[in-house]
């Protein structure tokens, strides 16, 4: 069977690291509250002028280097982002020119925190249908630019960064086995940005009903993960690694518990990265890959939920 195999992973995090204590003299919060309720200890924030495409290019170059694959052999670039440099052109075309490429095609996917899972599922479809042999799939976000710094319920949660994977078509058992994507626009008020080109003409700030979202997250993530595992003809007992969207350690632990997966099988980076939206899964994949956690043949499950609501899961054999 022709499948999309991950040949390399890469990441980029901005230099500036902000510890929880930084917020203590700005808003009514504490390091203890943030750690206990979210598992977050620190996050990276992009520098002034350090836009999403800059981080995406660095993560992409890192993934290409680690895969030993030249940029000019890539057929397509898909960037999952909700924080593009400009309304258009896409960040993906900026990555294309940043890598010195003029061939192939490039576009962005906007599914907020679920963006990487949606982009990976699209890339898998294009590889299996023969439209592309090699695809760069990137998640890159600058959520610090969307924060209301007076809203303690959101501004402590998010961070900036980018992660990337290089996918290649290959015959065999390795690669993406199954995907499951979902959206329900009736939940738009739970998590949204209150501005945009066709409404306010501003970029707006992130608004979230955190505790409502929390309940949807645990339920919907476990459901979509089970469906994806089912479609792959596997059971949760076959899963070697869960690489979840890194929003909140409590959501991750509750989801793992629902799936009867021990925390030893869960890749956790939320303590150091915060919630980087579409970048969180490729960042976590890159950290675990570099640490040598994944062995060839391991079953890796990723899942994410975000604004829309949109949510989904991908199961692959490493
Ligand atoms: N510091 C101190 N207190 C705070 C803070 C803060 N930073 N933020 C909120 N509080 C207070 C609230 O005001 C509230 O006080 P009150 O009881 O006096 O009104 C109290 O803490 C409890 O608030 P809840 O919102 O009920 O707390 P909860 O345990 O749900 O934790 C959190 C809040 C961390 C936002 C949690 O709901 C969460 O993580 N939700 C998921 C949302 C998320 O991760 N979204 C990201 C994008 S979508 C996704 O990735 C899933």
For 103-118, the DSSP string reads SSEEEEE--GGGHHHH
pLDDT for position 185? 98
For ligand 1, atom 46: residue with the closest CA: 247
So what's the pLDDT on residue 30? 98
Asked whether the ipTM of the predicted complex exceeds the cut of 0.90, the reply is yes
Neighbours of 42 (CB within 10 A): 17
pLDDT of amino acid 287: 98
pLDDT band at 58 (very low <50, low <70, confident <90, very high): very high
- Known active-site residue 275: yes
- Whether 155 lines ligand 1, by a CB cut-off of 6 Å, is no
Residue-wise pLDDT for 137-180, tens only, equals: 999 999 999 999 999 999 999 999 999 999 999 999 999 999 99
Could you tell me which residues come within 8 angstroms of residue 11 by beta carbon, excluding any fewer than 6 positions away? 59, 62, 161, 162, 163, 164, 282, 283, 286, 287
Query: How many Å apart are CA 29 and CA 298, to the nearest integer?
Result: 41
Predicted TM-score of the model (pTM): 0.97
Query: What value does the mean pLDDT take over residues 295-299?
Result: 98
62 is catalytic: no
Query: Could you tell me whether strands 299-306 and 241-244 are parallel, antiparallel, or unpaired per DSSP bridges?
Result: parallel
248 lines ligand 1 (CB under 6 A): yes
Strands 76-80 and 299-306: unpaired
Asked if 146 contacts 205 with a C-beta cutoff of 8 angstroms, the reply is yes
| 113 tagged catalytic | yes
Closest-CA residue to 273 (of 141, 112, 82, 78):
141
Residue 105 confidence (pLDDT): 98
Distance, in Å, from the CA atom of 283 to the CA atom of 274, rounded to the nearest integer, reads 11
What CA–CA distance (Å, rounded) separates 94 from 282? Answer: 19
Looking at residues 4-9, what average pLDDT do you find?
A: 98
Q: Over the stretch 212-250, which tens digit does the pLDDT of each residue have?
A: 999 999 999 999 999 999 999 999 999 999 999 999 999
Name every residue whose Cβ is closer than 8 Å to that of residue 54 and which is 6 or more positions away in sequence: none
Q: How many CB atoms lie within 10 A of CB 265?
A: 19
- Pocket-testing residue among 24, 37, 151, ligand 1, by greatest number of atoms within 8 A of Cβ: 37
Q: What's the Cα-to-Cα distance from 217 to each of 177, 246, 257, 313, rounded to whole Å?
A: 23, 12, 13, 13
Torsion sign, CA atoms 179, 141, 95, 110: positive
| Three-state secondary-structure class, residue 1 | coil
Q: How much is the mean pLDDT over the chain?
A: 97
Sort residue 42 into left (φ over 0), alpha (ψ -120 to 50) or beta: beta
Catalytic-role residue among 113, 155, 216, 248: 113
CATH superfamily placement of domain 2-171: Thiolase/Chalcone synthase (3.40.47.10)
Pocket flag, ligand 1, residue 245 (CB < 6 Å): yes
Distance of CA 162 to the CA centre of its chain: 8
Sheet holding 241-244, edge to edge: 175-183, 310-317, 299-306, 241-244
Structure tokens at 235: 């059971």
Q: Please tell me if the domain spanning 2-171 has the same topology as the one spanning 175-317.
A: yes
Per residue in 254-292, pLDDT tens?
999 999 999 999 999 999 999 999 999 999 999 999 999
- Domain-by-domain residue ranges, the chain? 2-171, 175-317
CA distance 170 to 317: 12
**DSSP tag of 46:** P
Whether residue 289 contacts residue 316, with contact meaning beta carbons closer than 8 Å, is answered with no
Dihedral angle sign, alpha carbons of residues 5, 68, 63, 100: negative
Q: Hey, what CATH topology would domain 175-317 get?
A: Peroxisomal Thiolase; Chain A, domain 1 (3.40.47)
């Amino acid at each position: 069977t022709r499948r999309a195999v991950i040949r390399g992973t890469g990441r980029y995090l901005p230099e500036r690291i902000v510890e929880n204590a930084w917020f203590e003299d700005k808003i009514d919060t504490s390091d203890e509250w943030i750690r206990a309720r979210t598992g977050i200890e620190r996050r990276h924030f992009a520098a002034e002028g350090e836009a999403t495409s800059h981080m995406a290019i660095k993560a992409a170059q890192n993934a290409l280097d680690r895969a030993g694959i030249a940029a000019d052999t890539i057929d397509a670039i898909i960037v999952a982002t909700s924080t593009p440099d400009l309304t258009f052109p896409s960040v993906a075309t900026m990555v294309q020119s940043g890598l010195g490429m003029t061939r192939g095609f490039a576009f962005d996917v906007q599914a907020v925190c679920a963006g990487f899972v949606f982009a990976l599922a699209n890339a898998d479809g294009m590889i299996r249908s023969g439209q592309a042999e090699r695809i760069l799939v990137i998640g890159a976000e600058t959520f610090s630019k969307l924060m209301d710094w007076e809203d303690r319920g959101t501004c402590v949660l998010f961070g900036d960064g980018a992660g990337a994977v290089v996918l290649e078509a290959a015959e065999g058992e390795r690669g993406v086995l199954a995907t499951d994507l979902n959206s329900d626009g009736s939940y738009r008020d739970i998590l949204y940005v209150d501005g945009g080109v066709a409404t306010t003409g501003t970029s707006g700030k992130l608004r979230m009903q955190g505790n409502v979202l929390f309940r949807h997250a645990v339920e919907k993530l476990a459901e979509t993960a089970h469906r994806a595992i089912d479609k792959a003809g596997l059971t949760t007992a076959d899963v070697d690694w869960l690489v979840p969207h890194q929003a909140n350690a409590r959501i991750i632990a509750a989801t793992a518990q629902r799936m009867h997966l021990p925390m030893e099988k869960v890749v956790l980076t939320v303590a150091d990265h915060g919630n980087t939206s579409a970048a969180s899964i490729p960042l976590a994949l890159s950290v675990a890959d570099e640490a040598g956690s994944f062995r060839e043949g391991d079953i890796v499950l990723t899942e994410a939920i975000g604004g829309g609501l949109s949510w989904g899961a991908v199961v692959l054999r490493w």
